[in-house]
A and B are shown apart, each in its own frame.
Chain A
Amino acid sequence: MKRRTFVSSSAALAAAGFALPASAASIKPYSWDLNPPTDTRDNFIAWGKARGEDPVFLGQRWDRFQALVRNKDIWGPATIRAFLLTPREEFASVNPAIHKRAYEHNFLDIGYGVTMSGPHLQGRMTNVIDVKRGEKVLEIGTGSGVQSAYIANLTENAYTIEIIAPLAQRTRALYDKLIDKGYTEYKHIKTKNADGYYGWEEAGPFDKIIVTCGIDHVPPPLLQQLKTGGLMVIPVGPPGAQRVLKVSKTQGADGSITTSREDIYGGKIVPFVPFTKLDGDKIAGTHNR
């Protein structure tokens, strides 16, 4: 898309007050065979449009995807596919103030003192736990719902728990609405309003666990519900300055179970939050330059 088109369609969308996406035409239902093109922006937008999505947001999704790949936040084909199939704008629509900012690198306010993490962090967390189809994945802290939306594109068995009741209800309702609209992949997500500290024992054990809430220790019930050989990721620190702790559960030769801690940057130090500069629809380096 040319810059001028991009800008003018942005303006048109702004004029429409962003009431469009939620009530727009139905989406082509999900199947595991859906494969968004990754060759060019135009092809991707055309493909997404054909599925029934908004071209402006599709363009933003493509641009952010380029930034994610460039910054090595996502690299596996499955995660790339999940990112390209996930309409972040639908999950940001809960707060009109952030709706049009869905693809910014920033974390965004979704109410209840909860943020929707930025796409770079979520992309990295998703790719790091390397979910295989069929694996059971538990998320603690549903929040906006977008993290489980990525997982839903990777496995049929996504479980998510939210502690704040009204937020849990709101996001559940959003999933239902999106399923009705055609995003049937969200049928893969089982939601529950409960204290995530205790995990979801009936549904466990889990191959992977993603925790997204602040606590002063790793909840033992979650480590118990994590399969041996499994991975858990937990962001630590305030929103926007988070490091993500990766806990691996392994069994030693003597049969004893141990855990080890790393962070999802693989133990290496890397330039922090990758601020990709977008100049129109072009990526113009990073803010680290």
Chain B
Amino acid sequence: MTVSVDLDNRPSLSFYLSVGLVAGSIIALQIGIMRVFSVGSWAHFGSLVVSLAMFGFGLTSAVMCVGKGWFERHWEGSIKGALLAFGPLMVVCNLAAQQVPFNAIFLISDPMQKWRLLANFVLYFLPFLAGALYLGVVFLKAQKTFNRVYFADLVGSGLCGLSVLLAMYFFRPDDLIMAPLLLWLAGGVLWFVSTGDRRGIAAIVGVAVLSAVVHYAAPPLLGIPKLAVSDYKGVSYARKFPDAVRTYERASPFGYLEVYSSSYLHFAPGQSDNAAFNLPKMPANAYLGLYIDSEGPSGIIKNLPDDETAYFKYLPMYYPYLLEKDPNTFVVQFGGGISTAVALKSGSRHVTVAEGNPALLTAFREDKGLRDFTGDVLNNPKVTVIDYDGRLYVAGTKNRYDVIDLSLADSAGLSSPGGFSIVEKYSYTREAMSAYMRALTPGGILSVTLWNKEEPPKSVLKLYATMATAARDVAKDKGAGGIAGNFYVVSSYLSTATVLYKRDGFTPEEIELLNAHTKAMSFDAIYYPGIKIDDSERAQILQDYRDQFFFAGTPPDPTAPSATEPNDKPPPGAPGATEVKDGAPPVARVPATVLGRLAWHYLIDGGWQEKIADDYVFDTRILTNHQPYFAAYIKVKDLLKFTDRLETVQDEWGYLLLWATLGIATVFALTLVLFPVVFGWRTIFSRYPGKFGTMIYFLCLGLGYIIVEVGMISHFILALSNATVSASVLITGMLVFSGIGSFYSERFLDRSRSFMPKVFLAIFLILTLYAFTIDYALDWIGTLPYALRIVLCLALLFPPAFLMGFPMPTAMTTLGRLGKDHMFLWAWGINGCFSVIGAALVPIVATSFGLPAVVLVGAIAYLVALPAFFSVLMPLERGRPAAA
């Protein structure tokens, strides 16, 4: 074969396009696999598998570094082989992985599950290995013009990332693998065009057709699933109901939305048990089940006739309407519409409702079935819809509301086997809460309801502390004194907790009314002005909660009652119950309830940190825009103590998996980075001066770039409201702008010694500035029309991303031009490996220290790279040839 491409001089446009498309195909495959995991099993295991699969780059680099000569001799064959294998591997490995699904909930208890997880990892690793081999050989051959190839790589990755976002409208998650396959096909064809290899073109088209046929035809023929949805995902249960009918289905970047109808679906989140004796019957078939990415159900409520809405009174979100008559109401998140329905049926004169997920709004506005079922609620003249996040609207609007409701905003909150993912919950932060509080009319009430299904309690304690802190912020602004009169809190054990905040404080008459309702509902009063608290149990309860996990003695008898400590205290009102006198502490039956009361006591009167938070077994830090997580409850100092009792904290596995990913990634990365060192520190690398500094340099770039990119994704959700969109905008923006930077950096190659330090300093300064100020900008951007938001986010991104495109290609091209070929390959691998570590590090730094710390870590990495850059510039020692 005659090779018409000269990679070191003027490669053709089709060559650059090929590099861009294949690199883009790799990104598309990452996103596709993440989607497959989100829908079929658990997103955070997808992150684990994808992160580790990226070690394909590290492994390729290590192998190529050691066998450089061979790859230089066989580069055409290597590229051709890698290209022809990449596409089919995507399809076949994905299908194969679906046949060995693993169940996260049995990961500890079933020895087989970890092998299944390993099989998933190995299978998804293979296509990345092929993709990495293609890029590695291309880079090796084009090292002297690396800036341009890298430009193609980055821009291609960025634009293809965006194209996958669009592809999500056309392909359902089980077919999304077609997106990377098409990109690969285009990239492959262009490669063979650039090399003038017609047989190659025919071969790759044939292989692509065959791969697509396998993807579409093999599952029905063999009776195997294209995408295995775990039996333990919410939608799997719905699909088993005998009368289940899927009434709506839509794939989009905002999630794979499905709606099921079945007489077996029942919702009444947090409903009082007393409804059983006071309601003649629950309305039948009142709900549809909404599932996003197979998770759920959230209840979509029917437009009930007035004589069937009595049960709303038994739901915790009814509380504010006991006091507010004819209110102007704001519902922070529409969800399945229960809060909106309660607001309308409880006499609101107008309801403004926000929903940040456009796919949900489209479904409710456009689908005839849903419109009929809900009485076309979103087009109700009494309802105004805000099509972005409620917290952003409230922060920006001059409108004031009598009732603001934030109730069980996310899914039905039933069990989440396999642990909760680490997800930003900006609607519940201190900043959001104080915005809601400020948007109330003078007599207005904020009502926040959260699931209270954890024992020991976790989320609710964070909510309590966050709301109390926000109330203090608001009180400070007003010059008001304490916050003791502003709160009324109730909970129902292992059900829900509701916090009411009244801007002007509750009157004694209102408290009396609320208490009567609480008693009628058999809910537990947790706090109200004037409640008396017995502090004597505090130390014991905190100790007991710790002992629940770290008990070291003979287990106490938990069940057999003793004379001195009867277990079954009669409920208040029953014969023999402790009489509740005026002002006396209500009888608490469970420690979680006592703990809730103690928490509020110290939150109101001071002493929360030292009396409760410091000694409590779980982390109770408040949610802020910097740490917006209902997650990471295990205190870092206790992490190792939990390793032999993982079953006890199954809902923390999402968080623990981050640490596991970091640990595994670090071991892998070091192994791969050191592999060439072990084989050639004294031989291959012996002639290269500054190798340690060079290693530090690329380590910093690998860490720094990905940390900034992933950290910014979390930040930008503030303005873009949606994780998928934020990720896509960030990936595209960062990579394309860095690609441009890479292209532009070529001009400064000859003066890199003097120019690059300025670039590093500029990156450091911009990132540091962003770390502390970007939230304010993003909060403002979030209130603008969506298209404008994206444009402004990209504008914000341009300065750092453009500059961050300089260091990598400048150093790589320098290595290439200095003839440090092995170093060139090794550097690429180090960069890749530490990217994986960086990505794993982000959520850990974010949950432990906050999002600004993440960006700051990235900034510091670039600062450290500054002096290390001079090692890269060191020329080979004279008289000692570099070639091994």
Contacts and interface: CB of A to CB of B under 8 A. Distances in A.
B649 interface: yes
A265 interface: yes
5 shortest interchain CB distances as A-B pairs: A113-B231, A223-B276, A266-B567, A260-B571, A220-B276
Contact of A287 (B231, B547, B645): B645
B300 to A, nearest CB: 14
A275 B574 CA distance: 37
Contacts of B549: 271-272
A185 to B, nearest CB: 25
Contact of B277 (A114, A163, A224, A240): A224
B241 interface: yes
Interface in B405-444: 412-418
Interface stretch (A1-9, A17-25, A38-46, A243-251): A243-251
A238 interface: yes
B569 to A, nearest CB: 8
B578 to A, nearest CB: 13
B376 interface: no
Contact of A260 (B241, B270, B522): B522
A111 B493 contact: no
Interface string B253-280: 0000000000110111111011111010
Contacts of B492: 261
B220 interface: no
B383 interface: no
Which bucket holds chain A's interface residue count?
35 or more
Contact of B263 (A109, A195, A264): A195
B453 A236 contact: yes
B558 A268 contact: yes
Contacts of B582: none
A216 B268 CA distance: 6
A224 B570 CA distance: 20
Nearest to B237: A113
Interface string A209-236: 0000011111111111000000000001
A72 B555 contact: yes
A243 B455 contact: yes
A274 B492 CA distance: 26
Instruction: Tell which of A72, A218, A238 has the most Cβ of chain B within 10 Å.
Output: A238
Contacts of B547: 269, 271
A104 B493 CA distance: 30
A241 B558 CA distance: 18
Contacts of A61: none
Interface in B554-595: 555-561, 567-571, 573-575, 589-591
Interface in B220-266: 230-233, 236-237, 240-242, 263-264, 266
A243 to B, nearest CB: 4
B573 A238 contact: no
Contacts of A248: 568, 571
A273 interface: yes
Contacts of A108: 109-110
A218 B496 CA distance: 12
A261 B493 contact: yes
Given A72-B557, A287-B644, A220 B282 contact: yes
A266 B274 contact: no
Given A270-B548, A274-B555, 19 more contacts: A97-B112, A106-B647, A109-B106, A127-B559, A197-B264, A216-B268, A217-B268, A223-B276, A241-B651, A248-B568, A252-B573, A259-B273, A260-B522, A260-B589, A261-B589, A264-B559, A272-B549, A286-B555, A288-B552
Nearest to A214: B414
Contacts of B270: 216-217
A273 B589 contact: no
A239 B552 contact: no
Nearest to B456: A269
Given A104-B109, A238-B415, A262 B453 contact: no
Contacts of A109: 103, 106, 110
A258 interface: yes
A269 B493 contact: no
B273 A223 contact: yes
Interface string A112-139: 1111000000001001100000000000
Nearest to B451: A216
A159 interface: no
B754 interface: no
A30 interface: no
A227 B819 CA distance: 87
Which bucket holds chain B's interface residue count?
35 or more
Contacts of A15: none
A267 B567 contact: yes
B258 to A, nearest CB: 16
A268 B547 CA distance: 12
Contact of B544 (A262, A263, A269): A269
Contacts of A216: 267-271, 412-414, 495
B264 A72 contact: no
Given A220-B276, A261-B589, A263-B590, A269 B548 contact: yes
B648 A273 contact: yes
A288 B268 contact: no
B551 interface: yes
B545 interface: yes
A29 interface: no
B494 interface: yes
A271 B651 CA distance: 17
Contact of A259 (B112, B240, B522, B575): B522
Q: Please report whether the interface of chain A is mostly helix, strand, loop or mixed according to DSSP.
A: loop
A75 interface: yes
B552 A241 contact: no
A78 interface: no
A20 B266 CA distance: 42
B510 to A, nearest CB: 24
Interface in B57-116: 103, 105-106, 109-110, 112
Nearest to A127: B559
A113 B558 contact: no
A257 interface: yes
A50 interface: no
11 contacts: A75-B559, A97-B110, A127-B559, A197-B266, A216-B267, A241-B651, A248-B571, A252-B575, A263-B455, A273-B647, A273-B648
A124 B560 CA distance: 11
B494 A245 contact: yes
B453 A258 contact: no
A245 B492 CA distance: 11
B666 interface: no
B105 A271 contact: no
A275 B555 CA distance: 12
A71 interface: yes
Nearest to B268: A217
Nearest to B264: A195
Contacts of A237: 415, 453-455, 494, 651
Contacts of B724: none
A100 to B, nearest CB: 12
A249 B499 CA distance: 27
A120 to B, nearest CB: 11
B412 A124 contact: no
A19 B490 CA distance: 55
A165 interface: yes
A289 B568 contact: no
B673 to A, nearest CB: 37
Contacts of B5: none
A288 B551 contact: yes
B559 A238 contact: no
Given A75-B560, A164-B240, A268-B558, A261 B590 contact: yes
A253 interface: yes
Contacts of A220: 271, 275-276, 279, 281-282
Contact of A261 (B240, B273, B418, B569): B273
B544 to A, nearest CB: 4
A107 interface: yes
Contacts of B545: 269
Nearest to B311: A220
